[in-house]
Each structure stands twice: as C-alpha cells, then as structure tokens.
Amino acid sequence: MKRRTFKPLLLATVAGLGLLAGSLSASAETLADALVSAYKVSHLLDQNRATLRAADEDVATAVAALRPVAKWGAEFSRSRCNMPSTFQTSCDGHWDELSATMALTLDWTLFDFGRNRLTVDIQKETVLATRAALLSTEQDVLLSAVKAYADAKATAEQVAITENSVRVISEQLKAAQDRFDVGEVTKTDVSQAEASLAGARASLAAAQGQYKAAREAYKAVIGHYPERLSSLPKAPKLPKTTAEANATALRLHPFIKQAQHLVSAADLGVALAHAQHLPTVTGAAQLADPKDTGRKSTLTLSIGQPIYSGGAIASTNRKAVANRDKARAGLSQAGVEVAQAVANAFAGIDVYRAQINAYDQQIQAADLAYQGVREEATLGARTTLDVLNAEQDLLDAKASRITAEASLQVAYYQLLSAMGLLTVENLKLGIPTYDPAAYYNAVQNAPLSDQGKALDRVLRAIGKN
C-alpha cells in the first residue's frame, strides 16, 4: 500500500520540479532581451537623437531665411531749447512736448539667385547624413550589448569551472595527506597538491575579478546587472561568401550612406560658394505713425552685388572645393574600412570555429588522460603531480573553449554590423523604434509658435520609444 502511494507522489514531485525548472529557464534573460534593454536605456542613442533634432532645426532655419521678416519699433524723443528768452520768449530752457513714432517694418529677400535654396538643400543632406550616423550609433550600441552579454556569460562559466577545479584539487590534497599519513606517498606529493591548490585559488580570484568587471560592463551597456543568462543563441543568418557580404555592406552600411550624403552636401557647398558672386534683390516696406503728423508708408526695392571683398569670396570658394575633395576621399575611405571590417569578421568566424573544433578534441583527449592518470595514481603508477597536471590541462582546454565560443558569438554580430544589418529592425526584436523622420516632418517648414502643441505631441511620441 505504501508503495502505491509513494510512486504517484514521487512522480508528482518530479513533474513539479520539471515545471519549476522550465519556469526558471523561461525567466532567464536572453540575448534578445539584453539587446532590447540596451536600445531602450542607451544615453548615447539619446545624445545622437538630440543631435539629429538639432540638424532638423537647421533645415527650418534655412527655410525661414526665404521668408519675410516683420518687426516693430518705437522711437520716443524730447528736445530742450537753451536759446535766451530775449530771442524767443517761448524758449527759456523748458522741455518741449514728447514726440513718439511707431513703425512696422517688413524685410524680404526677393531673389538671391538660388543661394538660400542651396543652403536648404545642404541642410537636408546634412540631416540625412546625421540619420545615417544615428543608425551607426545604434549598431555600435547593439554590438556592445552582444559583447557585454557574451563576456558576462563566458566569465561566469570561467568562475564555475575554476571553482570546480578548486574543489577537485582540495579533494586531491586531502587524499594526498591521507596517503602521506599511512606512508604511501612523500611530503613532496602533499606540497605539490598544496601548491596546485594555491594556484587554483589565485586563478579563481582572477576569474571572479574578470566576472565583476564583466558585470559592470553589462550594467553600463544594458542598464542592469546580469542575473540569469540563457545560453548563447544559434548563429544568425549570414551570407556564405565575403563578396556577398561586401555587396550588402556597400549598399546598406550607414557609414557609407553618411559619407555619400556628406559628398552631396559638399558638392552643393561648392555651388553655394560660386553663387556668392551673384547679386541680391531685397524689398522692404514700412508703416510709420509719428505723433500728430499722420501715418507714413514706405516701399523700398534694392539690388546689390559684391564687387570687391578683399579675397573673402575667393577664399570661401577654395575652401568649399577642399571640403568637397575631403568628403569624396572620406567616401572612398569608408568603402575601404567597411570592406576590411567584413573581411575581418569572416576571418574571425573561421578562426573561432576551427578553435572550437580543436578544443572539443582537446577536451575529449584531456578528459580521458585525466581519468586514466587518476586511476593509475591510485595504483601507485602515477604521482600526485601527474594527476594535477592532467587536471590542469583539462581545465585549460575547457576555459579556452568557453572564450572561443564567446568570441565566435561576437564575430557573428560583428559581421552583421559590418554589413549594416545590426539594427533593431533587421534583428526583428519586436519593439517600437525611434522614427528619425517624425521630428523632421514636424519642423521642416519652420512652423510658427501657434503650431507648438502639434510639435509637443511629436516630441512626446518619439520620447516614448
């Protein structure tokens, strides 16, 4: 009867433990969770988003320069006559009446041969370049999160295997001491075990220190300390050849796009510098209302062109050409750097995969050697030092594999970053992303103050992301 009641109870307990383990596993933080958190808490992204909004406002400022400027002014004056009263009896040092003039003035650049329009286009290209820079920053933030996750996971595993090594060597020291007490081994064997234990404890202290540093790096990037991290995921979908990856990188990488827009802005800058030689047509209207004299309206049309500027215009033109050459060289260099990053990532993946395969073989062989040496030591055919050395070889192989596995995971995402694909959208992390066009669309036409409420709604919306 007892057996019948015990078996269901045992099965229920095992099932409950399985559910609990599954729940704990489900609550562990995954790499995707870490990437989402890094995207949400990154101050670097906030900083670059603000930089982008400032660039958007430069477009609004340039657009406003095409519009009339209205201003009002007031002038108040009072005069005093110091003529002797013998010449003018009414002027004996007293103040005359106060005079006042109110005026409304409207100034407008009517035609400048496209200079203001070129300025607007330059600022638009600058906005597009800044958006690409923001995307590059997003890639940097996510890659830093991958590195932090892999380092935290790897250093935690290093601590675990080093702790296990300390326990094993402690047992070996106790066994050596027991065998020494019965005269089976010498004091040398005990000293060797003690030295090995001290070395293992030193290695443990170093591993714990590395783990603490990895935890701080994790918190700095992801926003909180790592608690329970899931295993590293499978490799993301990657291109099969370097040529395929290069083609994607040259087409999509934000660094390339940023350089392209900077070249376009520099080309427009040369055109703008040439246009500085052209005339400008401006108009002005003024409505004045002096006291006691009646309203007065004035319309003015002006045209002017620089004849001599002391070489400033020519210098500006040469500077624009130099900046254009600089931007074009920057675009070429961007292509070189992106191609190099792709090649380095591919090479890293190949190296780390080969290392992992080799370490797997080393671990298997080292484990067999360790088991054999330990058995032979019990028979007196091996010394304590042989056992300790075999155990250390096994530990080193396991530690090296952990490092290579973490490096391989980072290399996967380095390749995605080199291709311009390491973004929240491309990784399909399933969270709302910052819309770089939302603020621009709200301010591109230089809205007036009465449209501020609509702009506030845009700011709140993008702030929620």
Domains contained in the chain, CATH given: 29-69+113-282+311-434 (1.20.1600.10)
Number of CB atoms found within 10 A of residue 37's CB:
16
Whether this prediction's pTM lies above 0.85 is answered by no
Structure tokens at 11: 């099965």
**Distances in whole angstroms, Cα of residue 204 to Cα of each of 165, 284, 346:** 9, 81, 33
The pLDDT assigned to 150 comes to: 94
Query: Which DSSP symbol is given to 411?
Result: H
User: Judging by DSSP bridges, how do beta strands 280-290 and 69-77 pair with one another?
Assistant: unpaired
* Highest averaged pLDDT of the listed ranges 53-62, 212-221, 298-307, 453-462: 212-221
The pLDDT assigned to 461 comes to: 65
- SS3 assignment, position 138: helix
pLDDT above 70 (res 417)? yes
The pLDDT assigned to 16 comes to: 40
How far, in Å, CA of 384 to CA of 81, rounded? 118
Residue 183 backbone phi and psi in degrees, to 5 = 85, 15
Question: Please, what is the average pLDDT of the chain?
Answer: 84
Q: pLDDT tens, 155-210?
A: 999 999 999 889 888 888 888 888 888 887 788 888 988 898 898 899 899 999 99
The pLDDT assigned to 193 comes to: 85
Q: pLDDT tens, 339-389?
A: 999 999 999 999 999 999 999 999 999 999 988 988 887 777 787 788 888
The pLDDT assigned to 80 comes to: 66
Tell me the average pLDDT across 58-72.
Answer: 86
pLDDT bucket at 454, cuts 50 / 70 / 90:
low
Q: Are 230 and 31 in contact (CB under 8 A)?
A: yes
pLDDT above 70 (res 21)? no
- The contacts of residue 184 (CB under 8 Å, 6+ apart) are 380
Q: pLDDT tens, 251-297?
A: 999 999 999 999 999 999 999 998 888 888 888 888 877 766 667 78
How far, in Å, CA of 44 to CA of 53, rounded? 14
The pLDDT assigned to 89 comes to: 52
**Structure-token match 């609990």, residue found:** 20
The pLDDT assigned to 90 comes to: 54
